[in-house]
């Protein structure tokens, strides 16, 4: 391997002005990404950022890497093509809640189920920013916006539940306003082979200010964030509470119980708290955890961190190995064989001419 | 025995159509007749006709499947206007095809299938003498094909159903006898196919021979026919469909570009074969990606193109509608990608298995903004090979998306392809940009093609996208002057392609009374009509456009050298509209949208009308 030159954050900063609104959560995401990339040991020219359309999707212009600002909702398709063409690139998809979950939901599902080797950053501000404030698929029911003057009647969807149900091999959640956590999460995604889907809570201070305030507010953040740590019990609020699973009419259900200080890992009612295992092949539990604290489940804390990270072959790996197998079984194809292979006949000069 | 007395008549060319229920094996029968005739040395042209439904109820009109073969001792360019022979395996096939039979043509029907039930399914009324209206104007042979087949296979220990399935071989054998064709290539093919099932193999061969001998033995046919070998340009040939030729053309282009081929597509009739064909070529390094929809198909191709592959996507009209936004992105980001539109009958889902040329305006103009995209059209099945290469060459050498147009008739029709000398194919002239010192994403060469630096190239990091940008640097810039300048550059870039084109080929004289201007699958019919008219002394010539955008620079001058310009198209006048508006030439449309290819005789008649003699 050639010597990778030392990279710094400055290497990833593009020269033009960044044009998001002052105070927008997107700045913090940009800064975290620019902080993490130089630490990954990947040469700068091997990064490629592909986005759709939206405030969030302007991201590639602000990165001094290869980038492609495509069309609304379709970034996963272009990114898939880039990655399949160049397996040694590190390809990142940047999308929004409208881009990735409304117009482009179809492509998001298929990218995930194929386990394309792409890092996906979904900036969830629960609003359409670029078009100036209409409700999005992640806006809460009843939300009043310019197109929902009487309150939105759409049922919101939960991006992580959506990703996990689509078969995500990696699913995580973080908050733009928590750079340390975000950088850890980005590093975990970068280390994952396959689709690494990250939902990032991102404040749009112009059209949906405060959407994630309760996760940051000094008084509420302890009870609203459930920080996940592999191998540790699911505890929050200063380890005074935790998550247990019981059966509700045969269905598994998560609930919050108070921790028993005398009995670590066990609730006051004697139930064992769940131990976090993102590598669990079965995604049922990850799905249930993803749903906690969602817009439809506001009483519970939201899980933050890596919910799921399992090792499965990627689409690209399988595509390339099929190609290799075909080559070794049939020999590398030649155009001449292809053209001249089948049922040919020859007309000779003498033939009645 | 009547054999000895039978005469052998020599004919120039014959058109046969085999038709029957979807399950009757008519495509296979037609293909066998084709291959035998090609190997025999005839020139051939074929056109299958499939029902839109995969399994329409047996015996119904919707379930009729047909295969037409035109074979000749001359050079031919169409699958034939009308039929010399119609083989109808059931009443539905009879009903839907009989009108195409020539005066005094031969009708062969499988009498056994004309049961009251089947007659009813085909919509005939009880007791109707369905053949009566045709008795005076055709030679009708009612043959108990099913019974004869079963009798021939009496000794075989197979289910009756399996025996019955061999009846298409009986029909094939009979036509082989009528047209003095050898059986050996079909026997060889059967041996390859059923080698591992000796009983089925034997049964098929027996039925084939039984059909052949049946013709020989009964006295019904007064004569047999011979269609001598054609004077074909010496060379090596194979029979090929348009879709196969496109697939091979893409692989060839990938070698000429020295870039791996990537195809991102979503299945749609009649384009699906190309994706299927290319899926067989993994050992050629071809990457096929069956995407979740047409949008993802082209999106992945654009991504692969950004990544430096030869990228293509294949579809039909409804898919073009979905791809339009991405075609525009490829246009403004100036990335090479070939969009193959295999046209079918529209609008909407329309007539999925039928042919039309109704997407020309869609691919030229069906996008927001000023969005010039080059368009290349193939004129026949074998021509798809070169046309596909040409589309890829323009895409890569000029850094632009290119539309490749074909249609159902070309896609599933077949003809002999004189195999090219591969060493004469010209490598594509382009290089990736790798020098950071001289790199700027929208810096251009003399053709206005921008620099192409692919991700992974050190020092050439850049971002492209759909927003308007300034030239050279590619920086986003929405100011009025920049937009006007860029719009002009993008348009000029496409115009410049015309400077690289060879002079337009004229069939016939360079001046005259009438010039046919055509494009696409109408080539064969227009060419045959032109030859006919010229033989009759008319001053008629033909040009057939490979390039529909940009149009050739010599087109106007050629058209102005004729008193009349006629544009035959299987639409309501799309190229004619362009010619009229662009050149202010009074081009007359000859238009047809009845799902059928042009009949040569219709073109001849229309031409005479334009010449004031119709
Ligand atoms: C085909 C198409 N439809 C609609 C739009 C308009 N549009 C641009 S961005 C956007 C919504 C973006 O929302 P989101 O993905 O949440 O991004 P944000 O701006 O919030 O980051 C819409 C509707 C478009 N550009 N293209
Ligand atoms: S509109 Fe909202 S999301 Fe868009 S840049 Fe402004 S603050 Fe950020
Ligand atoms: Mg948003």
Q: What does the pLDDT look like over B535-564, one tens digit per residue? A: 999 999 999 999 999 999 999 999 999 999
Least confident of A144-158, B48-62, B399-413, B525-539: B48-62
Domain chopping of chain A, boundaries:
9-231+276-316, 234-275
Hey, what are B117's tokens? 């039930």
Q: What pLDDT, on the 0 to 100 scale, is given for residue B216?
A: 82
The residue among B138, B129, B32 whose CA lies nearest residue B82 is: B138
Give A 250-289 residues with CB within 8 A of chain B: none
Whether the predicted pLDDT of A147 surpasses 90: yes
Structure confidence at residue B51 as a pLDDT band (50, 70, 90): confident
Whether the predicted pLDDT of A162 surpasses 50: yes
Determine, for residues A339 and B465 on separate chains, whether the beta-carbon distance falls below 8 Å.
no
Say yes or no: CB of residue A34 within 6 Å of ligand 1. no
Which one of B326, B382, B461, B473 would you mutate to disrupt binding with A, by most A Cβ within 10 Å of its Cβ?
Answer: B461
Which chain A residues are Cβ-neighbours of B287 within 8 angstroms? 84-85, 319, 323
Answer whether A186's CB lies under 8 Å from A32's CB.
Answer: yes
**Angstrom distance (rounded) from CA A261 to CA B277:** 67
**Angstrom distance (rounded) from CA A242 to CA A225:** 11
Whether the upstream peptide bond of residue B550 has omega within 30° of 0, thus cis, is yes
Q: What pLDDT, on the 0 to 100 scale, is given for residue A353?
A: 39
Answer whether B38's CB lies under 8 Å from A345's CB.
Answer: yes
Question: Per 3-state DSSP, what percentage of chain A is helix, strand, and coil (rounded to 5)?
Answer: 30, 20, 45
Instruction: Show the beta-strand stretches assigned E in chain A.
Output: 47-51, 66-69, 90-96, 119-124, 170-175, 196-201, 225-227, 235-236, 241-248, 251-258, 302-309, 345-347
Which chain B residues are Cβ-neighbours of A353 within 8 angstroms? 231, 234
pLDDT digits (tens, 9 = 90+) for A263-273: 999 999 999 99
The number of residues in chain B equals 614
Which ligand neighbours the alpha carbon of A203 most closely? 2
Whether the predicted pLDDT of A131 surpasses 80: yes
- Residue B280, min C-alpha distance to chain A (Å): 9
- Residue B602, min C-alpha distance to chain A (Å): 32
Tell me the HSE value of A121 on the side-chain side, using a 13 A CA sphere. Answer: 29
Question: Which of residues A216 and B1 earns the better pLDDT score?
Answer: A216
Q: Which of A59, A69, A128, A206 to mutate to test the pocket of ligand 1 (most atoms within 8 A of CB)?
A: A128
Structure confidence at residue B3 as a pLDDT band (50, 70, 90): very low
pLDDT digits (tens, 9 = 90+) for B250-308: 999 999 999 999 999 999 999 999 999 999 999 999 999 999 999 999 999 999 999 99
Q: What pLDDT, on the 0 to 100 scale, is given for residue A133?
A: 97
What CATH number was assigned to the domain covering residues B512-610? 3.40.50.920
* CB nearest to B461's CB, from A66, A70, A109: A66
Whether the predicted pLDDT of B6 surpasses 90: no
The yes-or-no answer to whether B238-424 and B512-610 have a common fold is yes
E strand or H helix at B566, and its extent?
strand B562-569
Say yes or no: CB of residue A125 within 6 Å of ligand 1. yes
User: Stretch A228-239: mean pLDDT, rounded?
Assistant: 97
Handedness of CA A185, A186, A188, A193 (dihedral sign): positive
* CB nearest to B296's CB, from A77, A323, A339: A77
Structure confidence at residue B187 as a pLDDT band (50, 70, 90): very high
Question: Which of residues B126 and A142 earns the better pLDDT score?
Answer: A142
Q: What is the mean pLDDT of chain A?
A: 95
Please give the backbone phi and psi of residue A245, each rounded to the nearest 5 degrees, phi first: -115, 130
Handedness of CA B216, B75, B600, B97 (dihedral sign): positive
Whether the upstream peptide bond of residue B347 has omega within 30° of 0, thus cis, is yes
Per cent of chain A over pLDDT 70 is: 97
Strands B310-315 and B401-407 come out as: unpaired
* CB nearest to A78's CB, from B283, B302, B462: B302
Q: Which of A60, A70, A131 to mutate to test the pocket of ligand 1 (most atoms within 8 A of CB)?
A: A131
The residue among B318, B311, B340, B315 whose CA lies nearest residue B246 is: B340
User: Stretch B510-529: mean pLDDT, rounded?
Assistant: 98
Whether the predicted pLDDT of B71 surpasses 60: yes
- CATH match of A9-231+276-316 with 3.40.50.360: no
Give A 328-347 residues with CB within 8 A of chain B: 329-333, 335-336, 338-340, 342-347
Q: What pLDDT, on the 0 to 100 scale, is given for residue A4?
A: 53
User: Stretch B57-71: mean pLDDT, rounded?
Assistant: 92
Give A 216-235 residues with CB within 8 A of chain B: none
pLDDT digits (tens, 9 = 90+) for B331-388: 999 999 999 999 999 999 999 999 999 999 999 999 999 999 999 999 999 999 999 9
Whose Cα sits closest to atom 23 in ligand 1?
A131
**Angstrom distance (rounded) from CA A235 to CA B27:** 68
**What is the rounded radius of gyration, in angstroms, for the C-alpha atoms of chain A?**
24
Determine, for residues A70 and B466 on separate chains, whether the beta-carbon distance falls below 8 Å.
yes
Q: What is the mean pLDDT of chain B?
A: 95
**Angstrom distance (rounded) from CA A223 to CA A302:** 9
CB atoms within 10 A of CB A239: 14
Fold held by B7-226: Pyruvate-ferredoxin Oxidoreductase; domain 3 (3.40.920)
Interface membership of A10 toward B (CB under 8 Å): no
Q: What pLDDT, on the 0 to 100 scale, is given for residue A177?
A: 97
Answer whether A137's CB lies under 8 Å from A156's CB.
Answer: yes
What spacing in Å lies between the alpha carbon of A62 and ligand 2's midpoint?
A: 15
Whether the predicted pLDDT of B132 surpasses 70: yes
Q: What pLDDT, on the 0 to 100 scale, is given for residue B5?
A: 53
Which ligand neighbours the alpha carbon of A126 most closely? 3
* CB nearest to A67's CB, from B325, B420, B463: B463
Q: What pLDDT, on the 0 to 100 scale, is given for residue B55?
A: 73
pLDDT digits (tens, 9 = 90+) for A22-71: 999 999 999 999 999 999 999 999 999 999 999 999 999 999 999 999 99
The residue among B399, B405, B334 whose CA lies nearest residue B371 is: B334
Answer whether A253's CB lies under 8 Å from A247's CB.
Answer: yes
Q: What is the DSSP string of B71-139?
A: EESS---SS-SSEEEEEESSHHHHHHHGGGEEEEEEEEEEGGG--HHHHHHTTPPTT--TTHHHHTTEE
Full-model pTM: 0.94
CB atoms within 10 A of CB B254: 24
User: Stretch B484-494: mean pLDDT, rounded?
Assistant: 98
Structure confidence at residue A350 as a pLDDT band (50, 70, 90): low
Hey, what are B301's tokens? 């191709």
Report angle CA A75, A77, A81 to the nearest 5 degrees.
Answer: 115
Fold held by B238-424: Rossmann fold (3.40.50)
Answer whether A121's CB lies under 8 Å from A29's CB.
Answer: yes
Q: What pLDDT, on the 0 to 100 scale, is given for residue B102?
A: 95
For residue A205, the ligand 2 atom closest to its alpha carbon is 7
**Residues 6+ away with beta carbon under 8 Å from A162:** A101, A105, A108, A109
Q: What pLDDT, on the 0 to 100 scale, is given for residue B1?
A: 39
The SS3 of residue A157 is coil
Q: What pLDDT, on the 0 to 100 scale, is given for residue A1?
A: 44
Give residue A275's region: left, alpha or beta (phi > 0; psi -120 to 50).
beta
Q: What pLDDT, on the 0 to 100 scale, is given for residue B413?
A: 93
Whether the predicted pLDDT of A349 surpasses 90: no
What spacing in Å lies between the alpha carbon of B440 and ligand 1's midpoint?
A: 29
Quick check: ipTM above 0.85? yes
pLDDT digits (tens, 9 = 90+) for B472-482: 999 999 999 99
pLDDT digits (tens, 9 = 90+) for A62-106: 999 999 999 999 999 999 999 999 999 999 999 999 999 999 999
CB atoms within 10 A of CB B560: 12
Question: Which of residues B223 and A253 earns the better pLDDT score?
Answer: A253
Say yes or no: CB of residue A67 within 6 Å of ligand 1. no
- Helix B26-40 to helix B184-194 angle (10° resolution) is 130
Whether the predicted pLDDT of B572 surpasses 60: yes
- Residue B277, min C-alpha distance to chain A (Å): 11
Domain chopping of chain B, boundaries:
7-226, 238-424, 436-500, 512-610
pLDDT digits (tens, 9 = 90+) for B198-211: 999 999 999 999 99
**What is the rounded radius of gyration, in angstroms, for the C-alpha atoms of chain B?**
27
What spacing in Å lies between the alpha carbon of A206 and ligand 2's midpoint?
A: 6
Answer whether B389's CB lies under 8 Å from B214's CB.
Answer: no
Determine, for residues A43 and B458 on separate chains, whether the beta-carbon distance falls below 8 Å.
yes
Which chain B residues are Cβ-neighbours of A70 within 8 angstroms? 299, 302, 329, 465-466
Q: What pLDDT, on the 0 to 100 scale, is given for residue A352?
A: 45
**Cα A248 versus chain centre, distance:** 31
User: Stretch A339-346: mean pLDDT, rounded?
Assistant: 83
**Angstrom distance (rounded) from CA B15 to CA B97:** 13
Tell me the HSE value of B182 on the side-chain side, using a 13 A CA sphere. Answer: 13
Determine, for residues A353 and B234 on separate chains, whether the beta-carbon distance falls below 8 Å.
yes
């Amino acid at each position: 391997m050639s010597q990778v030159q030392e990279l710094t954050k400055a290497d990833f900063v593009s020269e033009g002005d960044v044009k998001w609104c002052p105070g927008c959560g997107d700045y913090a995401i940009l800064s975290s990404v620019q902080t993490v990339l130089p630490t990954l040991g990947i040469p700068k020219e091997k990064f490629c950022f592909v986005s759709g359309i939206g405030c969030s999707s302007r991201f590639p212009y602000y990165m001094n890497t290869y980038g492609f600002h495509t069309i609304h909702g379709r970034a996963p398709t272009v990114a898939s093509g880039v990655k399949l063409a160049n397996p040694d690139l590190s390809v990142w998809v940047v999308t929004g809640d409208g881009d990735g979950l409304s117009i482009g939901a179809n492509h998001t599902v298929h990218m995930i189920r194929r386990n394309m080797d792409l890092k996906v950053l979904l900036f969830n501000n629960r609003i359409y920013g670029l078009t100036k404030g209409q409700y999005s698929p992640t806006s809460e029911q009843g939300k009043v916006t310019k197109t929902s003057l009487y309150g939105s009647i759409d049922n919101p969807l939960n991006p992580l539940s959506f990703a996990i149900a689509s078969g995500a091999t990696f699913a995580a959640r973080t908050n733009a306003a928590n750079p340390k956590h975000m950088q850890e999460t980005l590093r975990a995604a970068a280390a994952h082979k396959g689709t690494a889907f990250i939902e990032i809570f991102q404040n749009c201070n112009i059209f949906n200010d405060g959407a994630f305030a309760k996760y940051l507010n000094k008084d509420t953040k302890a009870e609203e964030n459930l920080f996940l740590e592999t191998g540790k019990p699911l505890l929050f609020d200063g380890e005074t509470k935790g998550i247990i699973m019981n059966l509700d009419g045969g269905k598994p259900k998560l609930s919050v119980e108070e921790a028993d200080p005398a009995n670590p890992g066990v609730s006051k009612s004697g139930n064992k708290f769940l131990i976090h295992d993102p590598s669990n092949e079965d995604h049922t539990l990850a799905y249930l955890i993803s749903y906690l604290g969602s817009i439809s489940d506001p009483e519970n804390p939201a899980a933050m961190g890596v919910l799921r990270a399992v090792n499965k072959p990627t689409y690209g790996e399988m595509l390339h190995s099929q190609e290799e197998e075909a080559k070794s079984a049939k020999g590398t194809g030649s155009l001449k064989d292809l053209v001249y292979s089948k049922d040919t006949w020859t007309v000779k000069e003498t033939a009645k001419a | 025995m009547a054999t000895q007395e039978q005469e052998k008549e020599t004919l120039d060319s014959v058109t046969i159509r085999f038709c029957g229920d979807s399950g009757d094996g008519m495509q296979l029968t037609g293909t066998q007749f084709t291959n035998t005739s090609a190997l025999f040395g005839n020139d051939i042209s074929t056109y299958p006709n499939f029902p839109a439904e995969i399994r329409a109820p047996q015996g119904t009109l919707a379930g009729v499947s047909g295969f037409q073969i035109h074979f000749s001792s001359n050079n031919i360019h169409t699958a034939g206007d009308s039929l010399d022979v119609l083989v109808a395996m059931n009443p539905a096939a009879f009903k839907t095809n009989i009108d195409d039979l020539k005066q005094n043509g031969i009708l062969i029907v499988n009498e056994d299938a004309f049961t009251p039930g089947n007659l009813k399914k085909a919509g005939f009324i009880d007791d109707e003498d369905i053949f009566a209206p045709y008795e005076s104007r055709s030679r009708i042979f009612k043959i108990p094909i099913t019974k004869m087949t079963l009798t021939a296979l009496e000794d075989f220990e197979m289910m009756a159903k399996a025996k019955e399935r061999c009846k298409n071989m009986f029909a094939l054998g009979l036509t082989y006898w009528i047209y003095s064709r050898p059986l050996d290539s079909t026997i060889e093919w059967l041996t390859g196919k059923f080698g591992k099932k000796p009983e089925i193999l034997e049964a098929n061969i027996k039925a084939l021979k039984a059909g052949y001998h049946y013709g020989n033995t009964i006295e019904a046919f007064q004569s047999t026919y011979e269609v001598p070998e054609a004077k074909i340009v010496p060379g090596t040939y194979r029979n090929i469909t348009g879709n196969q030729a496109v697939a091979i053309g893409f692989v060839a282009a990938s070698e000429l570009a020295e870039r791996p081929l990537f195809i991102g597509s979503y299945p749609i009739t009649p384009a699906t074969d190309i994706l299927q064909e290319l899926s067989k070529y993994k050992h050629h390094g071809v990457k096929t990606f069956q995407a979740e929809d047409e949008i993802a198909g082209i999106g992945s191709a654009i991504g692969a193109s950004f990544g430096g592959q030869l990228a293509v996507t294949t579809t039909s009209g409804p898919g073009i509608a979905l791809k339009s936004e991405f075609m525009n992105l490829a246009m403004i980001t100036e990335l090479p990608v070939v969009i193959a539109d295999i046209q079918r009958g529209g609008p909407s889902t329309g007539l999925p298995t039928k042919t039309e040329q109704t997407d020309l305006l869609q691919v030229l103009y069906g996008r927001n903004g000023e969005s010039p995209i080059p368009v290349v059209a193939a004129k026949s099945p074998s021509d798809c090979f070169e046309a596909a290469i040409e589309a890829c060459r323009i895409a890569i050498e000029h850094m632009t998306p290119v539309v490749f147009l074909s249609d159902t008739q070309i896609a599933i029709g077949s003809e002999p392809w004189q195999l090219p000398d591969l060493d004469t194919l010209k490598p594509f002239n382009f290089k990736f940009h790798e020098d950071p010192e001289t790199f700027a994403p929208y810096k251009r060469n003399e053709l206005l093609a921008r620099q192409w630096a692919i991700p992974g190239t050190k020092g050439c990091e850049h971002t492209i996208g759909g927003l308007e940008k300034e030239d050279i640097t590619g920086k986003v810039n929405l100011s009025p002057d920049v937009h006007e300048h860029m719009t002009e550059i993008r348009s000029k870039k496409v115009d410049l392609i015309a400077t690289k084109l060879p002079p337009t080929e004229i069939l016939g004289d360079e001046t005259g009374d009438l010039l046919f201007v055509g494009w696409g699958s109408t080539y064969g019919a227009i060419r045959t009509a032109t030859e006919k008219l010229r033989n009759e002394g008319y001053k008629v010539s033909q040009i057939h456009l490979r390039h529909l955008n940009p149009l050739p620079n010599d087109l106007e001058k050629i058209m102005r050298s004729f008193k009349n310009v006629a544009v035959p198209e299987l639409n309501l006048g799309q190229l004619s509209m362009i010619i009229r508006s662009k050149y202010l030439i009074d081009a007359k449309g000859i238009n047809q949208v009845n799902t059928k290819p042009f009949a040569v005789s219709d073109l001849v008649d229309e031409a005479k009308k334009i010449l004031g003699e119709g």
